[in-house]
């Protein structure tokens, strides 16, 4: 089976099959793709788990990826505290038994983990393979010398994930083998791990040179003549061109093949049409293919300019970005790909075109999605160096000195073929002294290593309070490829005005108007990354357990800031109505026209977010006047005396109606209505359907104040993997089949457990008409 370096999404797997059938032959190199399945787990420290023999009767059987922390109960006393979202910590052990045919005995067998949280120890048949403290990093171990082969012989992988030292982070980390695992078999002469590197620096629409570097290692005891053949496949799977090279590779040594392959009239990777090519690299000895690898890449050219910001394929535009943490809300750190796909689609609706991975390496399939969907990415390594952020924090700062080089190397080597990545960040709000030779060296060591591994991309870091750290006056900013700063946009603008040769970007920004204008009105500002795209677990003060600064809440519900941001960043006509909650603080605007017991708002402040030239507001078909678009894109405001009925905003361009929105007063809750985001799913860990329950009155109006307990029942070929409602102060369990509605709705995440069939979901609540919905499994 083809040896690939990624977990390929389902659509790409189908394309891969067509490519292989129609284009090229390939080597019989075995990848056990279902190594995620049939593990056992126990949440305690059991020393015998590292041994080959064990009694697993008390162990829970499950598949990975798995996050056991999200399964627990919220408790203010949990040692994870505000950073970890008050969810449980401790030690978890995973074990898996497997057999290997005798024919595999001459192969090199490795295991690949995309991420284990955290401080992992891995054993094979009782032998300790190694430890990796950083839970976000992908890593590989060679199992070959410690395996049993043949009929009746078994092998046992054991993994310890130790999260006992707390608080370990400023935000939720999760716990366990929370990303995918693969078992890989290769010949003794093979492509090294992450050994194919592809760049397209001089790409244009007329031509491009695809530069492919392939590192092949010879782990035999004698020199071997190796032939490399690299074939480029276009986005339709057709062969574009091939190149071949030969080299005598010494025993125990590796050799880096370098091939430049010209491509005429390439389909360029961009945000609108993110075209993806592939390289198929085949390694042969004496005419026999003994290893191969398929890698995805995009043909594009980009740059950061000091005066004009970011350019992609000759087009200058702003990076309209968001920061994203690695959790998926109710599913914790073990996030099915379908959840990321849904979230990225919502961000596209707002007008977002860039993602910052805050503040750590992400799952590789997340970057695959960014490649496929047309986002550019700032790929980030660390939240801390040596200095902790908070009093008592015991996180990566304990390991930075020993591990930064290995972890940085592994992230860059793994990620460098993704066309979506345009810049690396080596730190976020670092508290180490950057006004010292030691601080300078820590940064330059990291930047130099990234340049060595991937000279095609610049490096930045998210600077923190530059006036205090002196980085704008001591020469530190001048050594950065691109100067990145969190917040305080006026300082970054002033820096560039004083030193116009510097390239600058906002690495973390809030949702307010003045920060939006700093990007809009300054051509040299390459982009901004809002804090954040989605609410994320942790970094919240009890009783809140989730940070609520996202454009969207955990359940994907739109918020005031996403409605306003869409009016600033989206291309299509936008109009959204919000009203001021009379008894709430500044910025508390909500998108409904229904009073609560505490807020009758006889006189209401109403704002309309819109990018239209003119907006007219109506209450029960009576015009309340029109307002033109302000020069600073601020919302248009009306004072409105409340009446039950319909509030309507009409957006016009050049006198023509282009968009409208209505808000209606709701009566008493009467019924549940279910909807689902798609009618079909497959029996894959990475696929999930979102079944949303909304509470309506008898006339079909959403009841935004409804908070009834909704109970979900599933029958057929599926199950509920989690429930949520987006409420940042809710302490209900996520691994459940019921949830209180919040602002009139809640959601159940449904997966398949059969290869085919029908899933039916029913939702009930006391005093309300029930609802049901079905979807297919194929």
Handedness of CA 131, 135, 137, 138 (dihedral sign): positive
746 vs 758: CA distance, rounded Å:
22
H/E stretch holding 182 reads strand 181-186
> How many whole angstroms separate alpha carbon 496 and alpha carbon 483?
10
Cis peptide before 663 (omega within 30 of 0): no
* Full DSSP string of 127-189: EEEEEE--TT--EEEE-GGG---STT--EEEEEEEE--S----SS----BS-S-EEEEEE-SE
Strand partners, 593: none
**For the chain, percent helix, then strand, then coil, each to nearest 5?**
15, 40, 45
Instruction: Give the Å distances, CA to CA, from 74 to 82, 222, 417.
Output: 11, 59, 40
Decide if 351 contacts 318 (C-beta within 8 A): no
Cβ(187)–Cβ(293) below 8 Å: no
Residues 406, 386, 382: CA angle, nearest 5 degrees: 55
Pairing label, strands 288-297, 239-249: unpaired
Say if residues 190 and 255 touch (Cβ distance below 8 Å).
no
Among all residues, which ones are annotated catalytic?
A: 429, 508
Measured at the CA of 53, the angle between CA 50 and CA 55, to 5 degrees, comes to: 95
Cβ atoms < 10 Å from Cβ of 457: 20
Q: If 0-12 CB within 10 Å is exposed, 13-18 middle and 19+ buried, where does residue 597 land?
A: exposed
Over its C-alpha atoms, the chain yields an Rg (Å, rounded) of: 27
Cα–Cα distance measured from residue 418 to residue 774, given in angstroms and rounded to the nearest whole number: 37
Question: What backbone torsions phi and psi does residue 489 show, to the nearest 5 degrees?
Answer: -55, -30
- Measured CA to CA, the distance from residue 427 to residue 385 in angstroms comes to 8
Sheet holding 309-312, edge to edge: 302-305, 309-312, 315-316
Q: Are strands 60-62 and 39-42 parallel, antiparallel or unpaired?
A: antiparallel
Q: How far apart are the C-alpha atoms of 775 and 778, rounded to whole Å?
A: 10
11: which residues sit within 8 A by CB, 6+ positions away?
372
φ/ψ (deg, to 5) at 721 = -90, -20
Strand partners, 315: 312
552/531 Cα distance (integer angstroms): 11
DSSP 205: S
Q: Give yes or no for a cis peptide into 382 (omega within 30° of 0).
A: no
The helix or strand, by DSSP H or E, that contains position 461, with its residue range, turns out to be strand 459-463
Q: How far apart are CA 760 and CA 674, in angstroms?
A: 11
| Strand 745-752 relative to strand 718-724, pairing | antiparallel
Helices (H) and strands (E) in the chain, counts: 9, 47
Strand partners, 256: 215
DSSP 383: S
SS3 of residue 203 by DSSP? coil
Is residue 636 within 8 Å of 601, Cβ to Cβ? no
For residue 743, give the nearest of 679, 692, 675 by alpha carbon.
692
CB neighbourhood size of 206 (10 A): 8
Answer yes or no: are the C-beta atoms of 574 and 651 closer than 8 Å: yes
Residue 752: CB atoms within 10 A of its CB come to 25
């Amino acid at each position: 089976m083809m040896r690939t370096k990624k977990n390929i999404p389902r659509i790409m797997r189908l394309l891969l099959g067509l490519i292989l059938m129609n284009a090229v032959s390939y080597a019989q190199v075995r990848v056990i793709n279902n190594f995620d399945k049939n593990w056992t787990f126990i949440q305690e420290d059991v020393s015998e788990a590292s041994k080959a023999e064990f009694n697993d009767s008390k162990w829970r059987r499950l598949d990975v990826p798995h996050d056991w922390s999200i399964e627990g109960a919220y408790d203010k006393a949990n040692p994870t505290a505000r950073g970890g979202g008050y969810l449980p910590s401790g030690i978890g052990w995973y074990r898996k038994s497997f057999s290997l045919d005798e024919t595999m005995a001459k192969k090199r067998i490795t295991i690949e983990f995309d991420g284990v949280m955290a401080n992992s120890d891995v054993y094979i048949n009782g032998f300790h393979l190694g430890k990796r403290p950083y839970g976000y990093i992908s890593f590989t171990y060679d199992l070959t010398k410690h395996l049993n082969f043949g009929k009746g012989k078994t092998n046992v992988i054991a993994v310890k994930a130790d999260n006992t030292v707390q608080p370990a982070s400023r935000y939720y980390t999760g716990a366990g083998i929370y990303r995918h695992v693969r078992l890989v078999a290769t010949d003794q002469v093979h492509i090294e791990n992450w050994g194919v590197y592809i760049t397209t620096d001089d790409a244009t629409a007329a031509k491009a040179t695809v530069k492919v570097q392939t590192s092949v290692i010879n782990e035999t005891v004698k020199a071997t003549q190796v032939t490399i053949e690299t074939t480029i496949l276009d986005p339709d799977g057709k062969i574009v061109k091939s190149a071949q090279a030969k080299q005598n590779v010494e025993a125990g040594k590796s050799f880096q093949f370098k091939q430049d392959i010209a491509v005429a009239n390439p389909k360029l990777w961009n945000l609108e049409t993110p075209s993806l090519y592939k390289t198929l690299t085949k390694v042969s000895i004496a005419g026999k293919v003994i290893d191969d690898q398929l890698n995805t890449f995009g043909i594009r050219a980009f740059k950061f300019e000091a005066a004009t910001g970011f350019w992609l394929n000759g087009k200058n535009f702003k990076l309209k970005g968001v920061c994203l943490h690695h959790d998926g809300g109710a599913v914790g750190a073990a996030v099915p790909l379908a959840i990321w796909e849904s979230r990225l689609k919502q961000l596209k609706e707002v007008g977002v075109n860039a993602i910052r991975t805050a503040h750590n390496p992400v799952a590789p399939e997340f970057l695959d999605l960014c490649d496929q969907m047309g986002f550019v990415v700032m790929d980030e390594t660390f939240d801390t160096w040596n200095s902790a952020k908070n009093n008592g924090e015991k996180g990566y700062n304990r390991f930075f000195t020993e591990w930064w080089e290995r972890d940085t190397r592994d992230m860059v080597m793994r990620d460098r073929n993704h066309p979506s990545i345009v810049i690396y960040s080596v730190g976020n709000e670092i508290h180490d002294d950057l006004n010292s030779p030691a601080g300078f060296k820590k940064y330059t060591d990291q930047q130099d290593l990234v340049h060595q591994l991937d000279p095609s991309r610049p490096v930045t870091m998210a600077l923190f309070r530059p006036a205090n750290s002196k980085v704008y006056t001591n020469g530190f900013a001048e050594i950065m490829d691109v100067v990145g700063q969190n917040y305080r946009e006026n300082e970054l603008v002033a820096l560039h005005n004083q030193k116009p040769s510097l390239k600058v970007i906002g690495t973390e920004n809030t949702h307010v108007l003045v920060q939006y204008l700093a990007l809009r009105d300054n051509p040299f500002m390459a982009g901004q990354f809002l804090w954040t795209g989605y609410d994320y677990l942790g970094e919240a003060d009890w009783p809140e357990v989730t940070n609520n600064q996202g454009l969207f809440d955990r359940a994907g519900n739109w918020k005031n800031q996403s409605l306003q941001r869409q009016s600033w960043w989206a291309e299509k006509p936008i109009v959204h109505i919000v009203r001021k909650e009379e008894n709430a603080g500044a910025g508390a605007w909500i998108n409904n026209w229904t009073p609560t017991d505490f807020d009758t708002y006889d006189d209401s402040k109403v704002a309309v977010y819109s990018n239209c030239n003119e907006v007219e507001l109506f209450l029960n078909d009576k015009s309340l006047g029109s307002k033109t678009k302000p020069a600073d894109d601020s919302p248009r405001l009306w004072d409105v005396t409340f009446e039950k009925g319909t509030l309507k905003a009409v957006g016009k361009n050049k006198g023509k109606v282009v968009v409208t929105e209505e808000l209606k007063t709701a009566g008493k809750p009467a019924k549940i209505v279910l909807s689902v985001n798609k009618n079909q799913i497959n029996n894959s860990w990475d696929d999930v359907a979102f079944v949303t329950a909304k509470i309506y009155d008898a006339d079909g109006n959403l009841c935004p104040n409804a908070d009834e307990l909704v109970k979900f029942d599933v029958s057929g070929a599926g199950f509920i993997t989690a429930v949520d409602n987006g409420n940042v102060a809710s302490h209900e369990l996520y691994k459940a089949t019921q949830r209180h509605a919040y602002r009139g709705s809640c959601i159940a995440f449904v997966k398949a457990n059969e290869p085919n069939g029908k899933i039916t979901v029913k939702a009930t609540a006391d005093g309300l008409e029930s609802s049901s919905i079905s979807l297919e499994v194929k």
